[in-house]
């Protein structure tokens, strides 16, 4: 199970300062990520609340399935992920099975660890900067509080949903969330 929340921060330097003050350290350096969300032409996965994604970060390629989210103050859903080989070959395999690229998004991601069993990622996206807290619910709540956030700051929306909201608020036609 993936259990997480996002927190909007004004900038990457502010996020880094908050993380340092809360005694988090970098466990994976900043890297560019390219993500492709796949679905059927009928949008079967989207309509069921699920997601199929191919992510490439440096030489690391992962395929991820995420199931429907369970209602909660934290985003909680099944996540199955496996490292894979070549992203282009994977995409062709999925296309042969009837899946098509539906949405592409990019970000720069750094990973941080501190006390406890959770992980914090710093995501720099074309629509803003976010901290993502992933771990047990109590760890998420304690960590958010240590970073200066309240439950009312929790964001459980996906980057796709946040991008659509950003486009609406900025009177911009949705496309792909890329730099």
Q: Domain containing 112 — which CATH number? A: 2.40.320.10
Residue 175 lies in a domain: no
Number of domains in the chain: 1
Reported as a single tens digit per residue, the pLDDT across 58-117 is 889 999 999 999 989 999 999 999 999 899 999 999 999 999 999 999 999 999 999 889
Residue 145 lies in a domain: yes
Beta strands in 40-163 (DSSP E): 51-57, 60-66, 75-77, 79-84, 100-113, 119-125, 128-134
Residue 26 lies in a domain: yes
Range of the domain at 95: 2-169
When the pLDDT of each residue in the chain is averaged and rounded to a whole number, the result is 97
Residue 35 lies in a domain: yes
pTM: 0.94
């Amino acid at each position: 199970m993936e259990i997480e929340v996002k927190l909007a921060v004004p900038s990457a330097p502010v996020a880094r300062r908050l993380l340092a003050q809360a005694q988090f350290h970098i466990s994976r350096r900043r890297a560019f990520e390219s993500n492709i969300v796949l679905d059927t032409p009928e949008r079967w996965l989207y309509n069921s609340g699920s997601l199929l994604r191919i992510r490439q970060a440096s030489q690391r390629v992962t395929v991820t399935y995420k199931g429907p989210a369970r209602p909660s103050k934290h985003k909680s859903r099944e996540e199955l992920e496996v490292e894979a080989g070549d992203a282009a070959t994977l995409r062709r395999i999925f296309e042969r099975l009837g899946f098509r690229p539906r949405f592409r998004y990019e970000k720069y991601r750094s990973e941080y660890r501190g006390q406890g069993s959770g992980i914090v990622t710093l995501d720099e996206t074309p629509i803003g900067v976010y901290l993502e807290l992933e771990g047990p619910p109590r760890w998420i709540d304690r960590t958010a509080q240590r970073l200066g956030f309240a439950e009312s700051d929790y964001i459980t929306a996906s980057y796709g949903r946040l991008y659509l909201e950003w486009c609406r608020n900025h009177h911009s036609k949705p496309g792909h969330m890329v730099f």
